[in-house]
Chains A and B, each alone.
Chain A
């Protein structure tokens, strides 16, 4: 049993009451967060959660069998191959740049935005794969970032932050290299603050790399918006940011038209339908 109450103030009995909803993923955001907070701090193992969840595979086995289209495999393998190439290229850059010795193995570029479940690009088959020119761009960009940021940026404490942003920018460059893609540089309203780089592809997908973002807390998210010719902001989705202050974000539904504005706001929770001002960073595609 729990003697010291977790932050969201659920008792063990209340967690047991919510257990079925928790394992079925049928709680509200607040309830689910409260259960997780309780489980993280409670000395009781709450085996009822495991017992209830252990039967869920039955539900998965009960669905009508439908074969996926053959093309899906090609899409997945192509995306995985591109991911692998990206890792290798980043490893090559890490060797080329005289960074401090303790360089971690290449990780997915999205790790900063969502450490537990990285956002994964959809339909990457629309991308033609990285051409030699793209890799040259990538490497040049990564080197430029490292140089512009100054070698001090690569000193121990900030190394991972710099690498994360480099990897994100490399992914954006990949998208920007596609035929018909537009790019946008996002800058803060006041001249200093969060900035980033985005690519809008002809199929409406957008890829965004940001840095110097304040870390989010609790349910707070950064929400990306697209503002077209009608001036109405349309939400693209939200993401959270850790202490590194960097983020990588992908979405779809952005018109690939010059002048369309991408903007970022800080929202108290996911699912915002109107932006909470101020706009922390924005830029027009062109």
Chain B
């Protein structure tokens, strides 16, 4: 598949991301001060996402703690890996938060997480490069590109921890339609990001 967003996605990582990588390298060496630095940089982002998903202060704290300790313990693995530190953290926070939400629900069909990295962790650098260059205007443009039903489907999944099937049941929408809304919504956001990028 061709990639019309090549210029954006192949952009050189920002200097902020380089600094993050340096901090993570120090964390991999067991420097507690470096973990302190990383926490200070991203505590607000991490906690805000965790709180948005869990809607519970104690659970959000646990999620953030898990995420930063995960970074502390797995920093060496990351250094050998890829992408933006910021979005790596964000993906850990998101998955931990969704786990917490799903544990609270009486759902038998919990996605298995123990033996596989979350999807974002298999992604190439594009993930980090996009995130590192996001500004408020791009975020607004991307969110504005969503229709109401697309936004509902994406938010129920990303922030609500619902599966596609659960979203279909909750909204009384055919499963195929839910899948389409998610896909088209993400593609619309992507187009908006590309257009908003300098």
A residues at B contact (CB < 8 Å): 17-30, 32-33, 36, 39, 47-69, 72-73, 75-77, 79-81, 83-84, 87, 108, 113-118, 120-123, 219, 221, 238-240, 269-271, 273
Contacts and interface: CB of A to CB of B under 8 A. Distances in A.
B123 A123 contact: no
B35 A77 contact: yes
- What is the size category of the interface that chain B forms with chain A? 35 or more
A32 B43 contact: no
B13 interface: no
A39 B122 contact: yes
A77 B36 contact: yes
Interface in B11-46: 30, 32, 35-36, 39, 43-46
Nearest to A113: B114
30 contacts: A21-B164, A30-B109, A33-B116, A47-B3, A50-B124, A51-B5, A52-B190, A56-B94, A58-B143, A58-B189, A63-B49, A65-B48, A68-B60, A68-B64, A69-B57, A72-B65, A75-B61, A76-B39, A77-B35, A77-B36, A80-B72, A83-B73, A84-B30, A117-B70, A117-B117, A122-B65, A123-B62, A240-B114, A270-B114, A271-B110
Given A25-B111, A48-B1, A120 B157 contact: no
B5 A59 contact: no
A221 B90 contact: no
A62 B94 CA distance: 13
Given A83-B69, A117-B70, A17 B179 contact: yes
Of B3, B46, B48, the most chain A CB neighbours within 10 A belong to: B48
B156 to A, nearest CB: 8
Interface in B148-173: 154-155, 157-159, 161-165, 167
Contacts of A36: 116
Contact of A50 (B48, B49, B127): B127
B139 A24 contact: no
Contacts of B109: 28-30, 271
Interface string B117-136: 11110111011001100100
A72 B61 contact: yes
Interface in B62-110: 62, 64-66, 68-70, 72-74, 87, 90-91, 94-95, 98, 107-110
Nearest to A237: B103
Contacts of B189: 55, 58
A58 B49 CA distance: 12
A120 B99 CA distance: 13
A80 B35 contact: yes
B119 A68 contact: no
B43 A72 contact: yes
Contact of A53 (B117, B120, B165): B120
B65 A26 contact: no
A33 B112 contact: yes
Interface string B165-198: 1010000000000010011011101100100000
Contacts of B113: 117
Contacts of A30: 109
A27 B193 contact: no
A16 B19 CA distance: 35
A66 B64 CA distance: 13
A68 B44 contact: yes
B159 to A, nearest CB: 7
Contacts of B48: 63-66
B65 A75 contact: yes
A32 B112 contact: yes
Given A55-B190, A120-B73, A122-B65, A27 B114 contact: no
Contact of B139 (A20, A26, A61): A61
Nearest to A72: B61
A20 B61 contact: no
Given A23-B119, A26-B157, A58-B193, A77 B163 contact: no
Contacts of A20: 179, 182-183, 185-186
Contact of A55 (B60, B64, B142): B142
A50 B30 contact: no
Given A56-B120, A58-B142, A51 B159 contact: no
Given A20-B185, A80-B69, 9 more contacts: A23-B120, A28-B165, A33-B112, A47-B1, A56-B91, A116-B115, A123-B65, A270-B112, A271-B107
